Amino acid sequence: ILGTIGFMLSVNVGITIVVLVVTPVSLFVASFIAKRTFSMFKAQSETRGEQTALIDEMIGNQKIVQAFGQEKDAIEKFDEINGRLQTCSLKAIFFSSITNPSTRFVNSLVYTGVGIFGALAAINGRLTVGQLSSFLSYANQYTKPFNEISGVVTELQNAIACAGRVFELIEEKSQVPEVENAVSLQHVDGKVELKDVAFSYVPEQKLIENFNLQVKPGERVAIVGPTGCGKTTVINLLMRFYDVNSGSISVEDVDIREMTRHSLRAGYGMVLQETWLRAGTIRDNITVGKPDATQEEIEAAAKACHAHSFIMRLPEGYDTVISEDGGSLSQGQKQLLCITRVMLCRPPMLILDEATSSIDTRTELKIQNAFAKLMEGRTSFIVAHRLSTIRSADVILVMKDGHIIEQGNHETLLAQNGFYATLYNSQYAM
């Protein structure tokens, strides 16, 4: 661009100025259209996201959709979103395709202007025909980059619209940052203390209030209570997935807000009701927390968890490849694998949140015994529905609506003849 301006100036200053004044008009036109296409590209990528989410939800939950006869509904929803996607894609592509031709059109006007002014100048004898013809080719050379830039601008608009959605996620406020010089827990015995803890997910709806608990190293703490009373919430607080609203939780006498999240979580082994398995072999899934485990260690852990026999019945044993989310395994088998994973790591503290809910009662009891042996001298928190599995806990917390209403071991709680006794008897009256 600079080169051609120099050459044009050397040929004729007057016409060069005309060229320089008119060319920005093409940029103006390009930016005018580009601004409109941006919002269309944005709508397009949003609608596309909506469509992908629907497909993911409907195909991932195919059985439920079929069981409730929702196929027609799902198709209608898809068609509606697809229709909107079609409309906004069409608009986005149409308008973005117009940008380049419009700048070319404006630049052709520049070329025409140069032709007319040049011809008049040549007639008046201020310009030779040779100069005019070289000027025209310079003018052409000069506008070319503008055309090319406008061709890329639309692609840029599309990219920026899509990137905007990615940045929305990246710029989402992250978790509460760790305090400066947060300590890293080195040795964990399992002393946990909750002092006057209050917590709620939404401010208007109080959940946990006035929660006090002292756990000595090696104690087995069981939490029972009706669904929705806040058992999982207590676990979330212990792992610091959420911060308490007031009060404090400390491990080894250090407030958990003053230690690194990593060292706190490394202290716990956690098994939840929802299983998480990744695509890969059974062995890969068991050794997540301890990648360098030997085959003997893996088998010992699997035997203790009663997973060994079903793994050996799989076509390739420990090398059987399972798909994402466990694929062909039963829910109980998936839980057994997750338990084996924790058994292999031998964490200083253990959390089981309804981790054995899909496993038959007999195997569950055996696993509890294995854990009892493993966790000897280590602290564990166990949430379970079947009271038979928590009978041997050192402390049983009976929760209701976010409060501990009874606390003690099995015998004392039964003797109190309170809520726990009612729960216990209702399970065993059957």
Ligand X SMILES: Nc1ncnc2c1ncn2[C@@H]1O[C@H](COP(=O)(O)OP(=O)(O)O)[C@@H](O)[C@H]1O
Site for ligand X contains 356 (CB under 6 A): no
Q: Which of ligand X, Mg ion, none has residue 227 at its interface (CB below 5 to 8 Å by kind)?
A: ligand X
d(CA 284, CA 366): 24
Using rule CB under 6 A, residue 204 touches ligand X? no
Minimum CB–partner distance for residue 77 and Mg ion (Å): 31
Shortest reach from residue 403's CB to ligand X, in Å:
12
- Interface positions, 220-259, toward ligand X (CB under 6 A): 227-233
Q: Please tell me whether residue 273 binds ligand X under the rule CB under 6 A.
A: no
d(CA 206, CA 224): 19
Place of tokens 């401010």: 203
Taking the complex as a whole, how short is the minimal distance between the CB of residue 94 and Mg ion, in angstroms? 52
186 binds, among ligand X, Mg ion, none (CB under 5 to 8 A by kind): none
Site string for Mg ion, 240-279 (x = CB under 5 A): ----------------------------------------
Binding-site size, ligand X (CB under 6 A): 10
Rule CB under 6 A: is residue 339 a binding residue for ligand X?
no
Between residues 231 and 308, which has the closer beta carbon with respect to ligand X?
231
Eight-state DSSP code of residue 225: -
Element (H, E) at 52: helix 13-60
Round to whole Å and give the CA distance between 53 and 405: 42
CA–CA gap between residue 271 and residue 235 (Å, rounded): 11
Residue from 39, 232, 281, 331 that binds Mg ion (CB under 5 A)? 232
Q: How far apart are CA 306 and CA 302, in angstroms?
A: 6
Nearest approach, Cβ of 386 to ligand X (angstroms)? 15
Number of residues that bind Mg ion (CB under 5 A): 1
What distance in Å separates the CA atoms of residue 330 and residue 186, rounded to the nearest whole number?
Answer: 38
Contact between 124 and ligand X (CB under 6 A)? no
Least distance from Mg ion to the Cβ atom of residue 258, Å: 28
In SS3 terms, 359-393 reads as CCHHHHHHHHHHHHHHCCCCEEEEECCCHHHHCCC
List, as own/partner pairs, every contact residues 130-135 make where C-beta atoms lie below 8 angstroms and the sequence separation is at least 24, other chains included: 131/11, 131/12, 134/11, 135/8, 135/11, 135/12, 135/15
Interface residues with Mg ion (CB under 5 A)?
Answer: 232
Interface residues with ligand X (CB under 6 A)?
Answer: 201-202, 207, 227-233
